[in-house]
């Protein structure tokens, strides 16, 4: 059986190997807005993420966002096809999927599935990502429990998101003989 410390050590080792050989970046999610409730206002999400360029046209990202105003968090994975070489600024389009959970007792777990389009800078050094997206929240349309601050409130089935993220990245490892 794998203990917690061994699992943590293995995860750190995998991250170090990935970071040493890949073009990637750590993003800070500072402006991400998405309405979650029927008749509600926009909800501001904040968080962090990791971007990874798989090749010159395809990238992926993992993000973790918090919404302190609505007591929720969401973990997302997205992939993107870049319309030009992603070593420089490029427009992209791709799918996203995630898990959203509210910290309120009796709240439903949602699975946001959608599409996202935007423009992102190359990952080497400072970069920015300006984007917009649309997603369906599987598990929505349900009311929260009868007690608490969200009693009787319905979740939106479909939402949109707009945002501007900033990050710091590094170039691929360009060892002698390695193909780019």
pLDDT band at residue 97 using 50, 70 and 90 as cut-offs: very high
Quick check: 54 and 26 in contact, CB under 8 A?
Answer: no
Q: For residue 30, list its beta bridge partners.
A: none
Would the pLDDT of 155 be above 50?
A: yes
Angle at 170 between CA 21 and CA 173, to 5 degrees: 30
As a whole number of angstroms, the distance between CA 29 and CA 52 comes to 16
What dotted CATH number matches 25-170?
2.40.160.20
Higher pLDDT, 126 or 147: 126
Give me the residue spans of the domains in the chain. Answer: 25-170
As a whole number of angstroms, the distance between CA 99 and CA 113 comes to 9
Amino acid 177: pLDDT: 46
pLDDT band at residue 95 using 50, 70 and 90 as cut-offs: very high
CB-based burial label for 152 (10 Å; 0-12, 13-18, 19+):
exposed
For the stretch 4-59, pLDDT in tens is: 556 666 666 666 655 555 688 999 999 888 888 776 666 788 999 999 998 889 99
- Residues sharing a CB contact under 8 Å with residue 25, sequence separation 6 or more, in sequence order: 50, 51, 123, 127, 167, 168, 169, 170
Using left for φ > 0, alpha for ψ between -120 and 50, and beta otherwise, residue 68 falls in: alpha
Task: Tell me the average pLDDT across 101-130.
Answer: 88
As a whole number of angstroms, the distance between CA 143 and CA 154 comes to 5
As a whole number of angstroms, the distance between CA 74 and CA 109 comes to 10
Quick check: 167 and 51 in contact, CB under 8 A?
Answer: yes
Amino acid 124: pLDDT: 85
């Amino acid at each position: 059986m794998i203990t917690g410390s061994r699992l943590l050590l293995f995860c750190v080792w995998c991250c170090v190997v990935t970071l040493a050989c890949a073009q990637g970046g750590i993003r800070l999610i500072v402006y991400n807005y998405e309405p979650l409730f029927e008749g509600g206002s926009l909800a501001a999400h904040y968080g962090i993420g990791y971007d990874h360029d798989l090749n010159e046209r395809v990238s992926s990202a993992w993000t973790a966002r918090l919404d302190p105003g609505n007591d929720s968090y969401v973990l997302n994975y997205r992939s993107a096809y870049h319309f030009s070489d992603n070593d420089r600024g490029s427009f992209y389009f791709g799918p996203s999927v995630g898990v959203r959970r509210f910290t309120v007792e009796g709240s439903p777990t949602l699975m946001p599935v959608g599409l996202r389009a935007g423009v992102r800078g190359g990952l080497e050094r400072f970069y920015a990502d300006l984007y917009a997206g649309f997603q369906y929240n599987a598990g929505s349309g349900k009311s929260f429990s009868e007690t608490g601050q969200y009693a009787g409130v319905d979740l939106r089935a479909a939402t949109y998101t707009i945002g501007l993220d900033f990050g710091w990245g590094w170039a691929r490892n360009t060892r002698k003989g390695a193909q780019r």
